[in-house]
Structure 1
Amino acid sequence: MTDDLPSWEPRWKRRYNSPPDDLIRDFYVPAFARSRNYDRAVGFFSAGLLAAVAPSLDRFVLNGGMMRLITSPAHLGDEELEAMGKGEDLKSHIKEGLRRAIMQPIPSPVLADRLKLLTWMVATGRLDVRIALREHTHSYALFHEKIGVFSDHDGNWMTFTGSPNETIGGARLHSESFPLHRSWVNEEQREYAHEERDRFEQLWGERVDGIALWRVNDWIENPMRSSFGIREPSATGTLAEIDQPSSPIAPVLDEASLVPALPDDLKLHEYQQDAVNNWLRADGRGVFAMATGTGKTITALTAATQASVHSAHANQPLLVLVIVPLVDLVEQWRREAERFGFRPAVCHGTLSTKQREHLKAVFSAARSSQGRRAEMVITTAGSLTPRGEAIADSEHFVQRQLARHRGRMMVIGDEMHSLGTQPRLDALPSKPTFTLGLSATPKRHGDDEGTQALLGYFGDPVVSISIKQAIYQHNALVPYDYLPHPIELTDDEAKRYRQISQRIAAAFARKDEQAAEAQIRARTRLTQHAAGKHNRLHQLMASGLKDQTHQIIYVAEGKDPETDFPALERTEKMLREEFGMRVERYYGETDRIRREVLQDRLASGDIHALLAMKCLDEGVDIPSARIGVITASTQNPRQFVQRRGRLLRRDPRNPKSHAVIHDFIVMPPRPAGEPSDSEKRLIGAELSRAVELAEAARNREALLTIIEWAYEYGLRPADQPWMNMAEGDDMEEWV
């Protein structure tokens, strides 16, 4: 237990304060892992704390660990104790209270597993529990002393005294503090540690006048067996949490390369390590709701590595199924997974005979009844989802293979919001062993039912990192300037907007949803192709933006409803012919190899800008991009949040200090009087996006401009929900 530990292990501190210290991670877990004896006198005790230090507790017992616990009966108060006096009724009341506490429902599988181990420890005498009370002449009162002693095999020990109770709340939720005294540091520390250890021994030996003890193992063993079951300690019984970022998190089990391990050069951020540990504590279920650019892929692969090693220790193969929304992400995942030692098989589009045979072999290996190996299949959501009911078997290749799988499986849903439609939900494997959802925008826009279905499948969020935390707290993304540009509808466009809005209202009134949806699409097309956008883009380029490189310019999909000319072609023609810019299209029809070439050309400065519609919305890494011009966007938070994320990624090859986002905000003409309801809805929807983007920008004064615009259109910002978000309540996050 000395401080002479490998560099990746935590060094003991003289004092622990929570916050900022995480008492479980920074103190309890390493202390249990290195100790042979743990003695604790405490006011209140909860098995929840031992659940939180799960991996270390198994190691503690396997190392010959013994626990002695002195605690008060948590279900009694001083007034009740005084009323009951000192007779047999008190003992019966304590015994019955312990039994009732043991019979309470168990809130999680992790805690259930821990309680089985505690039952074994009680049954074998490895955990000796005694109830203590302060004795008075005619009654008892609660015992509130707090002493902890960890001892190792080499005769070293350390003690702590002070505020934390032995509960999950005391260790993680409350503000707690205690000094730590180590016997091996110096004579002064040894004297403190000696006094505190002696105090515990006096209490345990019933040598302190005024303190009464009851031995309760015989009272609690049978109720624990009945309620929890029992299991012996095991090095493979639980998902192992990770240590410090540079530690050997998942060592290779043997000379074979069939089980992944963390790359030697991998350095996890603390928030990534916490995300994985939270997922492990949740028994391998949950969602990483992490802002774009915070390393969701790497964090997920770390979790998959832990699950693979856990399964290998149990001598059972693990199939890891990764589902992504786009083909580009298949290749991105494949490259990263290979760094960890996975051997991914990819599946998308039309499969060749050779690809089918390879996939069959992978699925077959994962179906083995035993073996230390992890297999990975990376597929797209479209390839996983049948396209109809009457489909030939050859088109259900992946589903047929999954239906035959009976072993352990981990399902990773990248950009999980894309899986929330009913056909895609139906296509997900049923009852996987582990699930992990990833998204910066896990809420499905306007689809609470789909969002809840995804939650039910993948589990609740185990981490949530907002864009502001990613930029200013974790330094994972670069800061940015937000420059909103008002784009007024022409009089004709405003007139058509009002007419379409009236048709939408009429369609809803007669409950004709199909007609309403058609008119909504027409209105969206009108605002996406507003004439002022093209003119404003021309002005921006003429003012100097034409000379800047590393740009992404988002343009509207489809054709202008007035000219019937595609916006992409019109924009490309203007930039090339009028400004002499080197620009290239980057859209759905661009093949993978061509996209990689274009990304390299943008990074080198060989081209000024990529012209994109939607294919750069999700997950694709282009860290070299520094300037974004959003000429067309929806009010769907997922889209503009993802687009922002494309620009904020750090570029290790060519570091950037910040990014710049130009956002075109569509507005009706400035009203002479009271604006119509449809005009208020338009400006409200556009400004909600602007507020979200301005909130996290380094030039937050842009919010003042947006507020001014709201007043000009008769909107009181204080009445708008998007102007009343609590700190950290970003639109894209699960809160």
Structure 2
Amino acid sequence: MQPTTMLRDTDPAPEYRSDRGNIIEDFYLPALRAASHYDRAVGYFTSSSLALLGQGLNDFTDRGGTIRIIASPYLEQQDIADIEAGYALRVVLERAALRDLTQAVEEPHAARGLGKLGRLVAESRVEFKLAYVASNNRVGMYHEKIGIFRDGRDLVAFKGSANETRSGLVGNFESIEVFRSWDPRDADRALRISEDFDDLWHDRTPLLRVLPFTHAARQVIEQAAHRTAARADLDHLPPHGAPVAVEEPRNDTPGTLAIPRDLIVRDYQKEAVHNWFTHRGRGLFRMATGTGKTLTALAAAAQLTTMLARQNKPLLTVIVVPYQHLVDQWAGDIARFGMTPIRAYEATSNWYARASDLGHALTLGVARAGVIVTTNKTFGDAPFQRLLADYTGPLLLIADEAHNLGAARLRTKLPPNAHYRLGLSATPERWFDDAGTEALTDYFGDIVFELGMGEAIQRGALCRYSYHPVLVELDDEEAELYVTVTAKIARLIAAHQGTAPLDDDSPLGALLRKRANILGHARAKLAALHKELQARRTQPHQLIYCAEGRHPLAHEHNLDEPTQLDQVMTMVGTDLHMPAARYISDTNRAERQAVLRRFSTGTDLQAVVSMRCLDEGVDVPAARTAYLLASSSNPRQFIQRRGRVLRKADGKDTADIIDFIVVPPGGASALQHETERRMLRGELARVEEFARLADNEADTLDLLRPLRKRYGLFDT
């Protein structure tokens, strides 16, 4: 079919330079829309090149256009080592090219071009070949950059510094020279570039070797195109209006987040999303641990993406989480919603270029949507902050465990250009930090939806549980240290008239941690734990939360005493012969995933022993029994730990929580008595909260009645 617009009608300039025009809008896309054949030899496969192709492929595809691409695979050190070791060169090169191509098509902003490109591949109208330098028994990369557009009558050839990547054509300062066959001044050069490409394609260029690659690439492209075409989303929620009505997903928004067809969106999740929209896309969700905050937030992001896509507006979604393993966990859920996010953590070189590339693609309309998931640490660092500041399009910031972003070092980093903001937390209020709590609500907005644990259990979103407090006494040495530290805390608070800083590194923060550690490391807990474990030694799916670090007295007296976690591991694994594994901050991500996978089966791993890193966001729905050795009065910690074991799972109706409650020894002085009374009040606050929703609430209250009577605590 003859195109209505010919190449010469696009009137290409003889040169395009970053300071004198837009290479994409002024040259590349008009030429692609007018051409019937496109040849390109350049660098290696990138997601941006696929996205760029997608922008101009509609008319090209309808006209029966054909594409020939020559790329040079990027060789990693292992590839080079394999070649030097005598591996088949073609096999290694194909492996490297498939790695490039697979990574490219999985990027969010490549999605828009995949449907059309997949059709061209299926119809054998796209061919790929690999080029490499072969000289003196060495293998090198082909770096030339040339391209040719043809329309059956004329051709336009170009060459220059620009790679066919988003950063190459937009983010960098680049230039290309253009040669038009109908211009006598350009004709010879245009034809010579065309002949050079044909020589490359037919492997007639000295020093270079060119290999077919279409067959190997076909499966990657077609599968990616199929996934893209299958993506769907729900109809958008209006900012104001009737209650949310979930409809069947529709296949009208490829390249965006899409609520999966197999996801049952609960009524309360619909209500949360609706409330967020009625507050103009800002607010906090206070949702009990285990009630599906992640999926609720992604449903909101999917609806927002669809709304903006229908207005031809893109959306960048940035999700900030506390830890690296939560980045991976979120990434799995995002993939279920139809997109592959950029994971931004560890070395900047691992993610920055791709994230910057995504920002450019969204700004220029090549991509409709993109997702970046990052850690609190990376979020606060200069490179990520620069990335946020440079992005000028619609931005949604989702903060998982949003209370963390109220910390002094992070609350100043929250991007003011994020028009849409969503904070998630079971306990958004920061403990003893009114300024941090106020900063959160000032930025995200008010709590727009709340689902407490009691309501979650009643609705069936969490399972029921029994609560078993186990009373253990401090020994005399621990009690004396507790009184001493408490006196220091009181003097420090008095000296600052109640305004002493509570940061982790502050004197008051250190003292509060030390006092909590005295309770968490109480030595009597180990004997009590042994007794409880012995009673359940045949049961699977048991979690044990230990106190962090070493016993404070070990620090005081420089004792070589094993940590509580080490002692528990010995008790569980050696003494009781229960298969157990650690899950701590030093455990690498692969090991963590293996531990959780083995734990979920309940066959070869009976218990997981952890500290804080299981507190926030980690999914362990298989857990049926939790032992709480660490005694924190911070409600966030004990609420999260309870939530870990209350998540629903197949065949799980109830859970058991065994909580080790520290009580003072007898015979205290008057000063000690008052200090211990306050200590016990803090412990009982947790007991009251746990018992209130437990199936055996009355039994728990009866157990504590003598203790309350002794310390006069019936008023608490």
- TM category, shorter: 0.5 to 0.7
Give deviations 1:659-687, integer Å, cap 9, x for gaps.
Answer: 00000011101457866221111100010
Say whether 1:247 aligns with 2:247.
Answer: yes
CA, structure 1 residues 239+523, in 2 after alignment: closer, same or farther (shift >3 Å)? Answer: closer
Query: Which of 527, 536, 545 pairs up with 1:535?
Result: 527
Q: How does 1:437-452 map to 2 (within 5 A)?
A: 437-452=423-438
Query: Which of 495, 501, 514 pairs up with 2:486?
Result: 501
Partner in structure 2 of residue 348 of structure 1: 345
Report deviation, 1:707: 4.7
Say whether 1:656 aligns with 2:641.
Answer: no
Partner in structure 2 of residue 669 of structure 1: 665
Query: Which of 354, 357, 377 pairs up with 2:372?
Result: 377
Report deviation, 1:603: 1.6
Report deviation, 1:705: 3.0
Q: Which amino acid aligns with 2:336?
A: R
Give deviations 1:574-593, integer Å, cap 9, x for gaps.
Answer: 22221111111100011111
- CA distance in structure 1 between the partners assigned to 2:255 and 2:436 by the alignment: 36
Q: Which amino acid aligns with 1:253?
A: D
CA, structure 1 residues 518+614, in 2 after alignment: closer, same or farther (shift >3 Å)? Answer: closer
- Maintained 8 Å contact 2:236/2:306: no
Q: Which amino acid aligns with 1:537?
A: L
Q: Which amino acid aligns with 2:698?
A: E
TM-score between both structures, scaled by the size of structure 1: 0.61
- CA distance in structure 2 between the partners assigned to 1:237 and 1:475 by the alignment: 26
Report deviation, 1:607: 1.3
- Maintained 8 Å contact 1:245/1:267: no
- Maintained 8 Å contact 1:330/1:378: yes
Report deviation, 1:360: 1.9
- Maintained 8 Å contact 2:462/2:647: yes
CA, structure 1 residues 236+484, in 2 after alignment: closer, same or farther (shift >3 Å)? Answer: closer
- CA distance in structure 1 between the partners assigned to 2:541 and 2:631 by the alignment: 20
Report deviation, 1:475: 0.3
Report deviation, 1:407: 1.1
Give deviations 1:546-588, integer Å, cap 9, x for gaps.
Answer: 2221000011111122443211111111222211111111000
Partner in structure 1 of residue 563 of structure 2: 566
Report deviation, 1:494: 1.7
- Maintained 8 Å contact 1:479/1:698: yes
CA, structure 1 residues 482+671, in 2 after alignment: closer, same or farther (shift >3 Å)? Answer: farther
Report deviation, 1:240: 7.5
Query: Which of 388, 391, 395 pairs up with 1:402?
Result: 388
CA, structure 1 residues 662+398, in 2 after alignment: closer, same or farther (shift >3 Å)? Answer: same
- Maintained 8 Å contact 2:485/2:511: yes
Report deviation, 1:243: 7.0
CA, structure 1 residues 608+357, in 2 after alignment: closer, same or farther (shift >3 Å)? Answer: same
- CA distance in structure 1 between the partners assigned to 2:597 and 2:437 by the alignment: 36
CA, structure 1 residues 667+409, in 2 after alignment: closer, same or farther (shift >3 Å)? Answer: same
Say whether 1:420 aligns with 2:406.
Answer: yes
- Maintained 8 Å contact 1:245/1:269: no
Partner in structure 1 of residue 702 of structure 2: 705
- CA distance in structure 1 between the partners assigned to 2:236 and 2:481 by the alignment: 67
Q: Which amino acid aligns with 1:248?
A: E
CA, structure 1 residues 239+522, in 2 after alignment: closer, same or farther (shift >3 Å)? Answer: closer
Partner in structure 2 of residue 317 of structure 1: 314
Give deviations 1:466-502, integer Å, cap 9, x for gaps.
Answer: 1010001x10011000000111111232222223322
Partner in structure 2 of residue 202 of structure 1: none
Report deviation, 1:246: 5.0
CA, structure 1 residues 661+677, in 2 after alignment: closer, same or farther (shift >3 Å)? Answer: same
- CA distance in structure 1 between the partners assigned to 2:610 and 2:660 by the alignment: 15
Three-state SS of the structure 1 residue aligned to 2:612 is: coil
- CA distance in structure 2 between the partners assigned to 1:515 and 1:461 by the alignment: 32
Q: Which amino acid aligns with 2:679?
A: L
Give deviations 1:276-303, integer Å, cap 9, x for gaps.
Answer: 1111111111111111111111111111
Partner in structure 1 of residue 627 of structure 2: 629
Partner in structure 1 of residue 574 of structure 2: 577
Q: Which amino acid aligns with 1:521?
A: R
Q: How does 1:183-202 map to 2 (within 5 A)?
A: none
Q: Which amino acid aligns with 1:385?
A: G
Partner in structure 2 of residue 485 of structure 1: 470
RMSD: 2.3
CA, structure 1 residues 629+243, in 2 after alignment: closer, same or farther (shift >3 Å)? Answer: same
| Equivalent pairs, count | 467
- CA distance in structure 2 between the partners assigned to 1:268 and 1:671 by the alignment: 57
- CA distance in structure 2 between the partners assigned to 1:241 and 1:262 by the alignment: 21
Partner in structure 2 of residue 525 of structure 1: 517
Q: Which amino acid aligns with 2:252?
A: L
- Maintained 8 Å contact 1:342/1:374: no
CA, structure 1 residues 266+520, in 2 after alignment: closer, same or farther (shift >3 Å)? Answer: closer
Report deviation, 1:596: 1.2
CA, structure 1 residues 487+373, in 2 after alignment: closer, same or farther (shift >3 Å)? Answer: same
Three-state SS of the structure 2 residue aligned to 1:376 is: strand
Q: Which amino acid aligns with 2:397?
A: V
CA, structure 1 residues 286+516, in 2 after alignment: closer, same or farther (shift >3 Å)? Answer: closer
Three-state SS of the structure 2 residue aligned to 1:323 is: strand
- CA distance in structure 1 between the partners assigned to 2:518 and 2:282 by the alignment: 43
- Maintained 8 Å contact 1:239/1:310: no
Q: Which amino acid aligns with 2:425?
A: S
Partner in structure 2 of residue 463 of structure 1: 449
- CA distance in structure 2 between the partners assigned to 1:515 and 1:405 by the alignment: 40
Partner in structure 2 of residue 549 of structure 1: 540
Report deviation, 1:404: 0.8
Q: How does 1:298-337 map to 2 (within 5 A)?
A: 298-337=295-334
Say whether 1:688 aligns with 2:711.
Answer: no
Report deviation, 1:506: 3.4
Give deviations 1:33-70, integer Å, cap 9, x for gaps.
Answer: xxxxxxxxxxxxxxxxxxxxxxxxxxxxxxxxxxxxxx
Q: Which amino acid aligns with 2:368?
A: R
CA, structure 1 residues 485+576, in 2 after alignment: closer, same or farther (shift >3 Å)? Answer: same
Query: Which of 613, 616, 619 pairs up with 1:618?
Result: 616
- Maintained 8 Å contact 1:293/1:477: yes
Three-state SS of the structure 1 residue aligned to 2:570 is: helix
Partner in structure 1 of residue 288 of structure 2: 291
- CA distance in structure 2 between the partners assigned to 1:331 and 1:664 by the alignment: 33
CA, structure 1 residues 567+237, in 2 after alignment: closer, same or farther (shift >3 Å)? Answer: closer
Partner in structure 2 of residue 641 of structure 1: 639
- CA distance in structure 2 between the partners assigned to 1:615 and 1:572 by the alignment: 17
CA, structure 1 residues 441+519, in 2 after alignment: closer, same or farther (shift >3 Å)? Answer: closer
Three-state SS of the structure 1 residue aligned to 2:404 is: helix
Three-state SS of the structure 1 residue aligned to 2:574 is: helix
CA, structure 1 residues 425+509, in 2 after alignment: closer, same or farther (shift >3 Å)? Answer: closer
Three-state SS of the structure 1 residue aligned to 2:622 is: coil
- Maintained 8 Å contact 1:707/1:717: no
CA, structure 1 residues 510+356, in 2 after alignment: closer, same or farther (shift >3 Å)? Answer: closer
- CA distance in structure 2 between the partners assigned to 1:554 and 1:323 by the alignment: 25
- CA distance in structure 1 between the partners assigned to 2:261 and 2:240 by the alignment: 19
Give deviations 1:692-724, integer Å, cap 9, x for gaps.
Answer: 111111111144236515423323332x2xxxx
Give deviations 1:623-682, integer Å, cap 9, x for gaps.
Answer: 111000001131111111111111011113xx2120000000111014578662211111
CA, structure 1 residues 515+323, in 2 after alignment: closer, same or farther (shift >3 Å)? Answer: closer
Three-state SS of the structure 2 residue aligned to 1:547 is: coil
Report deviation, 1:237: 11
Q: Which amino acid aligns with 1:635?
A: S
